[in-house]
Amino acid sequence: MKETLQKLLDAADIRVNGDRPWDIRVHDERLWRRAFLYGNNGLGDGYVDGWWDCRAIDEMLCRLLRVVRKRNRRPWRVVLPGYVHSLLVNLQSLRRAFQVGEHHYDIGNALYRAMLGEQMVYSCAYWQAGAGDLDQAQEDKLELVCRKLRLERGQRVLDIGCGWGSFCRYAAENHGVECVGLTVSKEQAAYARRHLEELPVEILLQDYREHQGQFDRIVSIGMFEHVGPRNYRTFMKVARRNLKPEGLFLLHTIGCNKPYLAARSWINRNIFPNGHIPAPRQVGKAMEGLFVAEDLHNFGPDYDRTLMAWYHNFRFAWPVLRNTRPQYTDRFYRMWTYYLLSCAAAFRARDLQLWQWVLSIPGRRGTYNRPALTP
């Protein structure tokens, strides 16, 4: 087992107990068996347990991902259990919809405020407009979304997966629209209602499948990753029934390069329960006959920089955060370190993408012209 993994590390130019930032330092020899049998689950759990360390986990994992991608295979012993489970259970059913809110988004607004910055935006920032810091890059992303949606004063906008209300606030303050935001997180809903009470914004603690209304525009930023393949078509039907005939729908989502078997990945087990990243054909199939794809924009590399900014904020704030909640233990710190840096590695290796789809209902009048992507 160790010999097999050593060859993989050699191919990625990663040395065991070397002195370069991306070299791995092994503290427990049981790591080799664990990583061999369980892949990234074993590697991630080994890091959380303190079995290995690395000064630049993001770069180390990026190098590994590039090698693994070339070999283009995953062991069935890792994939099969989760695949079988996904065939038997709708992991993103209405009954299970609030699990991710309870497990992930309700663990403390102070953590997210420290990590995400003033804008409280938990999705990819847009750095290509020349932003010098995270807050400006997130504001540039929100403005880009508004311009792509062609927002006009007085319009009604539905935000599916509104988070802490950052888009609703920005759109209401800067473009004069009314917003309805949906979230499955009690903490997010309470925060958004408290901070947006003087704006024409309504925040609902509600699953997207339960909402009925008519809107000039619909936006969903960083929520589609929680919908799941069994529900992609349903999600699109819900968006279609809530959108006026001349409206526009912007879908902002992480994407992968090809469909994958639904496995119980490290991220799903520890960070985002029931998550699933869509592939292009899955999004296309789900919208077929319901929407016209007016525009598709990929700025996945910007997520690498965003995640690294979140990690540095998290690391800087940790000495204060660790004393605010009992679950903020050293183990939690290692888990979130691995989460943020492994995700940055996946975007850097181009295993993951960030898409913004602009969709319209068939028969909409006129031509859609993408706005300038930089001021």
Examine the pLDDT at 250 and tell me if it is beyond 80: yes
Whether the predicted pLDDT of 77 surpasses 50: no
Phi, psi of 155 (to 5 degrees): -70, 155
- Confirm whether pTM is higher than 0.85: yes
Q: Which two tokens stand for residue 155?
A: 């319009």
Structure tokens given for 18: 């070397």
Where would I find the beta strands (DSSP E) of the chain?
A: 25-26, 52-53, 156-160, 178-183, 201-205, 215-221, 243-256, 292-298, 352-360
Residue 82: pLDDT over 80: no
Let me know if 124 is a catalytic residue.
Answer: no
Catalytic residue among 54, 162, 168, 343: 343
Is 80 exceeded by the pLDDT of residue 127? yes
What's the CA angle centered on 227, arms 123 and 262, to 5 degrees? 105
Residue 2's pLDDT band (cuts 50, 70, 90): confident
At residue 96, does pLDDT exceed 70? no
What is the C-alpha to C-alpha distance for residues 64 and 12, in angstroms, rounded to an integer? 6
Average pLDDT over residues 306-314: 98
pLDDT digits (tens, 9 = 90+) for 254-285: 999 988 765 678 998 999 988 899 999 999 99
**Average pLDDT of the residues in 209-230:** 95
Q: Would you place residue 76 in the very low, low, confident or very high pLDDT band (cuts 50, 70, 90)? A: very low
Q: Cβ(359)–Cβ(295) under 8 Å?
A: no
